[in-house]
């Protein structure tokens, strides 16, 4: 390619990569993914690259959470689910874990008024009873205060594990059978879905993962059966509104076949 060609190509790429307006103009608001789930990854690497402690990365990451919740609500996405802490994350150093837990509590207490004002309904998934009393109190307060809101439903996974969710679901179903409220013959996909943490919420249409890792890390194992997966190498603290918009723009250009054939 000659130098003019290269120059034009770089212009086109930067246009596609950088313009928020471009995506806003080209996203079809009538075909938004109803449910977007995000594996927010890369805080530690972002901090390390700058010579900061991992905790600084987590702090800056909370800014991205704020931005993403805002743009999702503005666009009209119905459900946004964020993976904040996995059951496997307890393997990290104690200092990092307690900084993360403090950050969750601080952020919840600080943001709740604004979220409530913006009609956001907040929900939590995970083994919440294993969290500190202070964090559980903030979680209960946030869920209760926003329970009747009808705007964006924001679900946060804290101490969440996809396999744990399935185990909890199985236990619940077994209990119903023991108590003769259900027979084993009645078990089907609907019964399982009903007993998962996000009962009543549609499966994610779009699953975003930042930081360039090609894995699901025990997130929503049952629910992502047919989600469109969108991976970016951008680290979570660097993730911008336009990255979220680009994911939706790309999503709208996918052909979802669900095992069937494309319609003409
Ligand atoms: C994601 O960032 C946040 C949590 C898992 C809590 P990481 O802390 O995993 O950052 P990296 O992947 O080490 O860069
Ligand atoms: C996934 O990130 C969990 C969250 C984003 C909360 P991890 O950083 O824990 O995942 P792995 O270890 O790279 O698979
Ligand atoms: Mg990580």
Q: Is residue 180 part of a domain?
A: no
Is 41 noted as a catalytic residue in this protein?
A: yes
Q: Is residue 1 part of a domain?
A: no
Nearest-angstrom CA–CA distance, 215 and 123:
25
Q: Is 34 buried (19+), middle (13-18) or exposed (0-12) by CB count in 10 A?
A: middle
Instruction: Pick the catalytic residue from 28, 43, 89, 203.
Output: 89
Q: Is residue 264 part of a domain?
A: no
**144 CA from centroid of ligand 2 (Å):** 28
Domain CATH number, residue 123: 3.40.1180.10
Question: Which listed ligand is nearest to 100 at the C-alpha?
Answer: 1
- List pocket residues of ligand 1, CB cut-off 6 Å: 40-45, 85, 89, 100, 211
Q: Is residue 229 part of a domain?
A: yes
Assess whether the C-beta atom of 152 lies below 6 angstroms from ligand 2. no
Q: What is the 3-state secondary structure (H, E, C) of 91-141?
A: HCCHHHHHHHHHHHHHHHHHHHHHHHHCCCEEEEECCHHHCCHHHHHHHHH
Question: What sign does the CA torsion over 223, 228, 229, 234 have?
Answer: negative
Q: Is residue 119 part of a domain?
A: yes
Distance of CA 161 to the CA centre of its chain: 13
Is 21 noted as a catalytic residue in this protein?
A: no
Number of domains in the chain: 1
Q: Is residue 93 part of a domain?
A: yes
Query: Taking CA 103 as the corner, what is the angle to CA 54 and CA 231, rounded to the nearest 5 degrees?
Result: 60
- Full residue range of the structural domain in which residue 244 is found: 31-161+204-252
Per-residue pLDDT of the chain (264 residues; tens, 9 = 90+): 567 766 655 555 444 566 899 999 999 999 999 999 999 999 999 999 999 999 999 999 999 999 999 999 999 999 999 999 999 999 999 999 999 999 999 999 999 999 999 999 999 999 999 999 999 999 999 999 999 999 999 999 999 999 999 999 999 999 999 999 999 999 999 999 999 999 999 999 999 999 999 999 999 999 999 999 999 999 999 999 999 999 999 999 999 999 999 876
| Neighbour tally for 18: CB within 10 Å | 12
Cβ(182)–Cβ(109) below 8 Å: no
Q: Is residue 241 part of a domain?
A: yes
Q: How far is CA 191 from CA 50, 66, 118, 175, in A?
A: 48, 35, 33, 13
Q: Is residue 98 part of a domain?
A: yes
**85 CA from centroid of ligand 2 (Å):** 8
The pLDDT score that the predictor gives to residue 3 is 72
Q: Ramachandran region of residue 131, left (φ > 0), alpha (ψ -120 to 50) or beta?
A: beta
Nearest-angstrom CA–CA distance, 115 and 138:
14
């Amino acid at each position: 390619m000659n130098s003019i060609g290269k120059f034009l190509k770089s212009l086109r790429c930067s246009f596609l990569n950088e313009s928020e307006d471009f995506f806003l103009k080209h996203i079809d608001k009538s075909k938004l993914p109803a449910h977007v789930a995000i594996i927010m990854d890369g805080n530690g690497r972002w901090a390390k690259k700058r010579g900061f402690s991992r905790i600084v990365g987590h702090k800056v990451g909370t800014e991205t959470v704020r931005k993403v919740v805002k743009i999702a609500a503005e666009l009209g996405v119905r459900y946004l689910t964020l993976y904040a802490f996995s059951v496997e994350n307890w393997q990290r150093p104690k200092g990092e874990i307690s900084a993360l837990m403090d950050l969750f509590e601080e952020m919840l207490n600080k943001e709740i008024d604004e979220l409530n004002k913006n009609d956001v309904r907040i929900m939590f998934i995970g083994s919440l009873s294993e969290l500190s009393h202070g964090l559980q109190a903030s979680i209960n307060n946030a869920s209760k205060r926003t329970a009747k809101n009808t705007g964006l439903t924001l679900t946060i996974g804290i101490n969440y594990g996809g396999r744990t969710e399935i185990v909890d679901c199985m236990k619940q179903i077994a209990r119903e059978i023991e108590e003769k409220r259900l027979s084993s013959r009645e078990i089907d996909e609907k019964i399982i879905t009903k007993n998962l943490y996000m009962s009543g919420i549609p499966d994610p249409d779009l699953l975003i993962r930042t930081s360039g890792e090609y894995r699901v890390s025990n997130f929503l194992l049952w629910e992502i059966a047919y989600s469109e997966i969108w991976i970016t190498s951008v680290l979570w603290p660097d993730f911008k509104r336009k990255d979220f918009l680009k994911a939706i723009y790309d999503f709208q250009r996918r052909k979802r076949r669900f095992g069937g054939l494309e319609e003409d």
